Amino acid sequence: MASGATLISFDKVWKSYGQGEAKVHALAGVDLAIRRGEFVAIMGPSGSGKSTAMNIIGCLDTPTAGTYNFMGIDAGRLDRNRRAMLRNLYVGFVFQGYNLLPRTTAVENVELPLIYRGVGARDRHDLAMKALAEVGLVGREHHTPAELSGGQQQRVAIARAIVTRPTLLVADEPTGNLDTARTHEIMELLTRLNTELGLTIAMVTHEADVAGYAERTIRFLDGHVASDGMNFEVA
Amino acid sequence: MIWETVRLSLLSVRRNVLRSFLTLLGIVIGVAAVIAMLTIGSGTTEKVKSDIAKLGSNLLVVRSGRPAGPGGPGGLDQVVRPLAEKDVAALVAHLTGASAISPASQKQVRVIFGTESLTSGITGTDSAYLDARDWKLVSGRPFSDSETRSGTGVCLIGETVRQQFFGAGDPEGEIIRVNRTSCKIIGLLEPKGYTGFGQDQDNVVLMPLHAYQRRIAGNRDVDNIYVAADDRTPTTELQPRVEDILRDTRRITPDREDDFSIRDMTQIADAMASATTTMTGMLGAVAGVSLLVGGIGIMNIMLVSVTERTREIGIRLAIGAHEKHILIQFLVEATVLSLLGGIIGILIGLALAGLASVTLTIPFAPSPAVILLAVGFSALIGMVFGFFPALRGARLDPIDALRHE
């Protein structure tokens, strides 16, 4: 998919924890940019700073120093509630552990972000049903997570992430709990959303073949970007 | 948004039935206790009031002896001069504002019919007694004037006496023995039931005062004079008039105190009612403490709930919930919980009060104000005790919350 204008940019972003001797820099002056419509895989060993970077990209966290710009907004300086609003309007999340509300039906889970957006009950239901159809879960709308397989739960989570038509999808090891067949189904779904909806996707993974579905791979190491390049081997 | 949140919190209550139930229990018990106490209490107050009304409303009772107060009634320095028929006659002649004036002398005496016997309260009086005490006859007739004057051996009996001697049968015309004399039953008194102090008001035999004085008491004394106020005259107005007339007829000089006392049954009724109301208030306050404990239970469970649902809070925050959404969610949940508890508590409390009213034979007197107050208070408890846990949930960091297992 052809990339558009810059959506995300890190300008010398630092994220530090602790004080004095015990001070740890999870990110040490990272510069990076992601354009609209890109599908980026973020890799790196644990402790490399990739999760911290993802939290900042998803507007869940703010840099200790440097600037994080999201959609032209200085998102690193916003307070909790403003960042919550930004997430609600523009960011969808998919997690390794699905993170669906237990004992809550698929359609109710998908409706959740719309509730915080103030969408009326009828519209909410319609939009949620549509999103579930988009991820191929027709007929499972009223199942609770316990009644769904891992792959199906992750589809519900993806439906919940895209129901608000976000600009950015943040996926944290989306296939980490799935077998190979399910992994490919989910990755094909994400690829389709990227091409058909023009959804920008930032995805953390530690599996090379999963990263291969993305157009570009950014590798973190010790709080720095170790490598950043396009994935040419993918068809 | 609020309605939506209420719906969601009801869902959450339903999803955690056992935990919700245990949380509710504190509030249920608290509210039930308050409602039961206050309802039983107001029933008791009504019972006391109606008991005293049974003695006769707007009634003054005159007795011989100095009034109660400093020095006490009938101290050692005082020779009690009994009331007499001339005191009654003076009141009948001069008192205005009274609907009935009647002398009465009482004694517990053994009454015998056939082989049955019963210790009963014998009252020597006249036909005005029935008016003064607001007492009606089920059958028969009151004493005639000539019977009253001559002290004929006739009597009216209460329901308990009839049941003891005649079962459900008609007692009229039968002759019973009272002490060493006998009297012919000419009428049956309407049942009055027990007083709040457990005294059977129907275990009585009324006979003409002169018959009582001659054949039973053996003196010419009058123990009490009943004075019933008419509809236009409050007892407080009537009392000084009675006092004046009696001082005059008993020749009490202004420098001496009354040698009789006048008791106002209305005032006694009010005093007793206010005493039971105070008692009710105290019991209610004690029950209120259990409501407070219930509130702390709510807080405890809401804290557990927030901890248990940290991940859920993380998800909600990640997908765009503001602090206020989480705060409202848990506040509404706590309020809905305690309101539910309040409603269940009201039902149980009313059921308990209903049961008590049957076993204690007091009126069932639920008060809408108390019920509304209980609902409002339980909602308030939910909000107050739910606030701290809710705030804790709302302030969670979404990243930490999502990582929470």
Check residue B362 and give its pLDDT.
82
Check residue B212 and give its pLDDT.
92
Alpha-carbon distance of B194 to B196, in angstroms, equals 7
Best B309, B312, B319 residue to mutate vs chain A (most A CBs within 10 Å): B319
Report DSSP letters for A46-108, one per residue.
TTSSHHHHHHHHTTSS--SEEEEEETTEEGGG--HHHHHHHHHHHEEEEETT--PPTTS-HHH
Alpha-carbon distance of A122 to B307, in angstroms, equals 32
In this prediction, the residues of chain A whose per-residue pLDDT falls under 70 are 1-3, 233-235
B371-389: pLDDT as tens digits: 888 888 888 888 888 899 9
Q: Average pLDDT, stretch B35-39?
A: 88
Prediction pTM value: 0.69
Q: Average pLDDT, stretch B305-323?
A: 89
CB B394 within 8 A of CB B324: yes
Alpha-carbon distance of B174 to B185, in angstroms, equals 6
Interface of B with A (CB under 8 A): 1, 4, 8, 11, 15, 311-312, 314-325, 398-399, 402
Fold for the domain defined by A6-16+26-230: Rossmann fold (3.40.50)
Q: Do A85 and B315 touch (CB under 8 A)?
A: no
Per-residue CA distances from A129 to A107, A122, A142, B168, B348 (Å): 7, 11, 10, 78, 43
Weakest-pLDDT range from A80-89, B73-82, B316-325: B73-82
Alpha-carbon distance of A169 to A202, in angstroms, equals 6
Check residue B273 and give its pLDDT.
79
Annotated domain spans of chain A:
6-16+26-230
Q: Do A84 and B317 touch (CB under 8 A)?
A: yes
At position A20, the amino acid (one-letter code) is G
A215 to chain B, closest Cα gap in Å: 26
Residue B196: pLDDT band (50, 70, 90) is low
Nearest partner of A210 among A229, A193, A185, judged by Cα: A185
CA dihedral sign of residues A202, A208, A210, A214 = positive
DSSP bridge pairs for A67 = A11
Say how many CB pairs under 8 Å bridge A and B: 58
Closest residue of A to B317, CA-based?
A84
Q: Do A84 and B402 touch (CB under 8 A)?
A: no
Question: Does the structure show a pLDDT above 90 at B11?
Answer: no
B312 to chain A, closest Cα gap in Å: 6
Residue B78: pLDDT band (50, 70, 90) is low
DSSP bridge pairs for B154 = B184
Residue B151: pLDDT band (50, 70, 90) is confident
Report DSSP letters for B134-173, one per residue.
T--EEEE----HHHHHHT-SEEEE-HHHHHHHHTTS--TT
B392 membership: H or E segment, kind and range: helix B368-394
Which of B1, B324, B398 lies closest to A60 in CB terms? B398
Q: Average pLDDT, stretch B265-274?
A: 79
Weakest-pLDDT range from A106-120, A162-176, B52-66, B96-110: B52-66
Fill in the DSSP letter of residue B214: I
Check residue A233 and give its pLDDT.
56
Question: Does the structure show a pLDDT above 70 at B130?
Answer: yes
Question: Does the structure show a pLDDT above 80 at B269?
Answer: no
Weakest-pLDDT range from B73-82, B275-284, B291-300, B331-340: B73-82
Within 8 A of B316 by CB-CB distance, chain A residues are: 112, 116
Closest residue of B to A164, CA-based?
B319
Share of chain B above pLDDT 90, in %: 24
CB B321 within 8 A of CB B3: no
Residue B305: pLDDT band (50, 70, 90) is confident
Q: Which token pair is B272? A: 């007793």
Which of B315, B322, B399 lies closest to A81 in CB terms? B322
